[in-house]
Amino acid sequence: MHHDGDRRRAIPRTDDLLALDVVDQARQRLAETEIRAVLRAVQERARTGQLPPEQVRAAVAEELLAHPVVSLAPVLNATGVIVHTNLGRAPLSAAAREAVQVAAGYVDVEMDLGTGKRSSRATGTAEALLRACPQAEDALVVNNGAAALLLAITALCAGPGSSREAVVSRGELVEIGAGFRLPDLMVSTGARLREVGTTNRTHLEDYRRALGPDTGCLVKVHPSNFRVEGFTSDVGIPALRTLADAHGLPLVVDLGSGLLAPDPSLPQEPDIATALRAGADVVIASGDKLLGGPQAGILLGRVELIQRLRTHPLARALRADKLALAALEATLRGPEAPVPAFLHADPEHLHARTAALADAVGGTVVEHHGRVGGGGAPGHPLPGWAVELPESVATALRQGSPAVLARAHSGRCLIDLRCIPEHDDAALTTAVRAALTVTTIGS
C-alpha cells in the first residue's frame, strides 16, 4: 500500500508537465484543452501502474508529438473502386486542393471588389458549370445530392398551405447507402408521393392516369446502385417531356452520378447534357461522384425554374459553403481530376505498374475488374490488374502508415493500383513490404 502511495506521489504534477518545453512547442499545433487531455491520459496510465512515474515526461512528449489535430487519416485506395463512399468518394484534384486553401481565408464570396457592394454567391461556380454543360440555361449548387432533390420537391410541390403530388415510378423509389431512402426524403418535404407503375414495368399511360390538378411535378430517378433486368420497361425523358408539356408541369430528373456528357467507357450511364437535350427542366447530380469534385448537389436546367429554387427560403439552409464552391469551380476549370483519370486509366500502363509492385513484394499479377462505385455504372467492370497476396496481409495494410485499403476476397488480398496516384507507388511498395513483415512475424 505504502509502495502504491509512493508511486502516485512520484507522478509529475500537471503544472510541472505544462511547463515542459515540449508542451510549449505543442501549443503551436494543439489547443490547450487537447494538451491537457493528453497529460491527464498519461498521468492516469501512471496511476493505474501501466507506466512507471519516471517515464511520464517522455510519454507526454511522445504522445503530444503523435497527437493528430484531425481524426481523419489519409488512405491509399487499393480496392479498384474509384468513387469509394467509405473513403470520402472523389479525391480532389491538385487545382481543387489549391482552391480550398485560398478559400480557407477571407475571400470575395459575396462581395464585388470593384464596387465594394454585396454580390450574389457562387456566380463563378455557376459560370464554370454552364461552360462545362452548355445545354443548361442556369445552375445552382447546394450541399449534396439529397439536398438538391429536397429543394426541388419542396419548391415545386410543397407550397404554403398546399401539399401537391410528385409523380414517380415505383421502380425508381430507391434506397441508397446507410438505409437512406429517397421516398422518405421526398415525403419529408410535405409533398405527397404518387407512385405509378410496378417495380419492373412502368408505362406512359401509368403517368398519364396519375396526373391531375394536384400534380406538382414529374420526377424521374436514375436507380443508380442496381439494375433491373429481364421483363422491364420504363418511360424515357422525351415521352415524359411531351406529357409534362401537355399538362404544364415541370420535369425533374435525378441522375445522381454527375456525368456531364456521354462517356464511351460507360455506355449505360446517363449524362446531364443528354437529359437536358431530351427535355428535363431540372437535372440533379452529385459533385463528388463521376464529376470528381467535392460533396455538392448540382441543379442544372431552365432559368425560370432554377431561379425559383434559388429564391426559395430552403435554399439558404441547404447552400454550399465557400470551400465546396471553390473546389467545384476549380475541378471544372482545372486539368483532369483524379476520378476521370482513374476511370480512363490505360490497362497496359496499369499492368506495368502492377508487375513492378508484384516483383518488389513477391506477389502475383492477376486480372481484376475495377468499379466506378458510389452508385455509378452498377455492375460495369473496368478491366485491370491487381497484385495477389495472402488474405491476412489486408489487415496489416489497413492498420499501417500510410493506411492501405486493399480488397480481401475469396481468401486473397488483392492490391489494385487503378486509384493509386503514380507518385504514391513507392509509398505503396514500402507499405506492402511492412505489412508482409508484420504478417510473417504475427504468424
- Give, in degrees to the nearest 5, the angle at Cα 399 between 396 and 400: 80
SS3 of residue 140 by DSSP: strand
Domain boundary among 303, 335, 367: 335
Strand partners, 254: 221, 284
Question: Taking a C-beta distance cutoff of 8 angstroms, is the pair 94, 317 a contact?
Answer: no
**How many domains in the chain?**
3
288 vs 374, which has greater pLDDT?
Answer: 288
pLDDT digits (tens, 9 = 90+) for 183-238: 777 777 778 888 888 878 888 889 899 899 999 999 999 876 556 667 777 888 99
Phi, psi at residue 93, to the nearest 5°? Answer: -70, 165
Sequence letter at residue 380 = H
Same domain, 44 and 9: yes
- In this prediction, residue 370 carries a pLDDT of 94
- In this prediction, residue 381 carries a pLDDT of 92
129 vs 160, which has greater pLDDT?
Answer: 129
pTM: 0.91
Query: Using only C-alpha atoms, what is the Rg of the chain?
Result: 27
pLDDT digits (tens, 9 = 90+) for 7-65: 788 999 999 999 999 999 999 999 999 999 999 999 999 999 999 999 999 999 999 99
Same domain, 185 and 310: yes
Q: What cell numbers appear for 106 in the block?
A: 477571407
Same domain, 399 and 369: yes
Same domain, 437 and 317: no
Domain containing 408 equals 75-84+341-442
Report d(CA 210, CA 196) in Å as an integer: 7
Q: Percentage of the chain surpassing pLDDT 70? A: 94
Same domain, 324 and 378: no
- In this prediction, residue 190 carries a pLDDT of 77
Summary mean pLDDT of the chain = 91
Same domain, 55 and 152: no
Residue with cell 391531375: 212
Contacts of range 101-106, beta carbons closer than 8 Å, 24 or more positions apart: 102/326, 103/322, 103/323, 103/325, 103/326, 103/327, 104/323
Same domain, 80 and 14: no
CATH number of 406's domain: 3.90.1150.110
Same domain, 98 and 79: no
Reported confidence tier of residue 356, pLDDT bands at 50, 70, 90: very high
Same domain, 114 and 53: no
Give the torsion sign (CA, 199, 204, 205, 210).
positive
Same domain, 51 and 167: no
Quick check: 297 pLDDT over 60?
A: yes
Same domain, 129 and 265: yes
CATH number of 320's domain: 3.40.640.10
Q: What average pLDDT does the segment 137-158 reach? A: 93
Runs of H (alpha helix) within 137-236: 145-157, 182-188, 204-210
Q: What average pLDDT does the segment 317-336 reach? A: 97
Residue with cell 509529475: 12
Domain boundary among 319, 335, 351: 335
Q: What cell numbers appear for 216 in the block?
A: 406538382
Report d(CA 141, CA 434) in Å as an integer: 44
Give the Å distances, CA to CA, from 78 to 23, 235, 312, 335, 404: 38, 39, 43, 23, 7
Instruction: Name the strands in the sheet holding 165-169, side by side, starting at the edge strand that comes first in the sequence.
Output: 138-142, 297-301, 282-286, 251-256, 215-221, 165-169, 192-196
Q: What average pLDDT does the segment 294-300 reach? A: 97
Among residues 165, 212, 160, which one has the least CA distance to residue 187?
Answer: 165
Q: What cell numbers appear for 431 in the block?
A: 507499405
